[in-house]
Amino acid sequence: MSEKITRKNILSPSILAADFSVLGEKIREAAAAGAQYIHIDVMDGVFVPSISFGMPLIKSIRKATDRVFDVHLMIVEPERYVKQFKECGADSITFHLEATGDADALIDQIRALGCRVGMSIKPGTPIEAVRKYLPKIDMLLVMTVEPGFGGQQYIPESTERIRRARGMADELGIDLDIQVDGGVGQDNVHVVLEAGANVIVSGSAVFHGDITDNVKRFIAQL
């Protein structure tokens, strides 16, 4: 077992839950309160049932903040689009293992663009499926709800999946960010942190109500 690595805890508010009529303003408020990342869910209506937004919106809101744009692609054939997402402002690009036939090539493609590389898996995908890719990526996103809709309840079995993912990374001696997305709020963030997650995506619990207060309360627990 390698020596335990100290890593930074990060809040990544998901704009899917924000008021789109004043989206830039809401992003600036979250950033000013201390959010380090901005999480952007791109959904195509094929890989997941919902359709969200794409490159024009990301390019537009890029002017609102210099925070890390944490782009989560819930789309088929992500390799067709990663260059365009980089060009419109993505700093970190996360794709789903289930959505590509050649994860190694896609990792290399994203890396060559100068972006951080993230890989995500759905709740039904065995956590062991990502093991061989961990040395090549910067972040593993463990979905804690079925992807495609905001406002869902956290799946309790996710806690053990997070713990197993962190255990694999530690065994390999990898300084890996583990992100969680889905049903995480101020009342249960301690559960995922204790299991080994360090990048927390939260939408409704940040953008519903007082954004500044919500972010500061989250940050205080990280």
Structure-block tokens of residue 90 = 């993505």
Residue 76 to residue 69: CA distance in whole angstroms: 20
Domains of the chain from N-terminus onward: 12-221 (3.20.20.70)
| Residue-wise pLDDT tens digits, 153-190 | 999 999 999 999 999 999 999 999 999 999 999 999 99
Above 90 in pLDDT, residue 2?
Answer: no
Mean pLDDT (the chain) is: 95
Residue 216 to residue 219: CA distance in whole angstroms: 5
Give the distance from CA 52 to its chain's centroid.
15
Above 60 in pLDDT, residue 208?
Answer: yes
Tell me what pLDDT residue 152 has: 82
| Residue-wise pLDDT tens digits, 37-85 | 999 999 999 999 999 999 999 999 999 999 999 999 999 999 999 999 9
Q: What are phi and psi of 11, to 5 degrees?
A: -100, 130
For the question of residue 41 being annotated catalytic, the response is: yes
Q: Which residue has the tokens 């249960």?
A: 188
Instruction: Check 41, 70, 138, 177 and give the catalytic one.
Output: 41
Query: Across residues 140-165, what is the average pLDDT?
Result: 92
Tell me what pLDDT residue 29 has: 98
Tell me what pLDDT residue 6 has: 59
Amino acid at residue number 87: E
Nearest to 117 by CA among 128, 130, 101: 130
Above 50 in pLDDT, residue 4?
Answer: no
Residue 75 to residue 57: CA distance in whole angstroms: 16
Nearest to 182 by CA among 27, 39, 30: 39
Sorting pLDDT into bands at 50, 70 and 90, what band is 109? very high
| Residue-wise pLDDT tens digits, 13-45 | 999 999 999 999 999 999 999 999 999 999 999
Helix (H) or strand (E) holding 83: helix 82-87
Q: Residue 113 has what DSSP assignment?
A: T
For the question of residue 181 being annotated catalytic, the response is: yes
Q: What are phi and psi of 210, to 5 degrees?
A: -80, 105
Tell me what pLDDT residue 1 has: 34
Above 50 in pLDDT, residue 127?
Answer: yes
Instruction: Check 44, 70, 138, 181 and give the catalytic one.
Output: 181
Q: What are phi and psi of 63, to 5 degrees?
A: -75, -15
- Percentage, residues of the chain above pLDDT 90: 94
Q: Which residues sit opposite 41 in a β-bridge?
A: 72
Q: Residue 44 has what DSSP assignment?
A: B
Sorting pLDDT into bands at 50, 70 and 90, what band is 7? confident
Rounded to the nearest 10°, the torsion over CA 164, 204, 28, 192 is -20
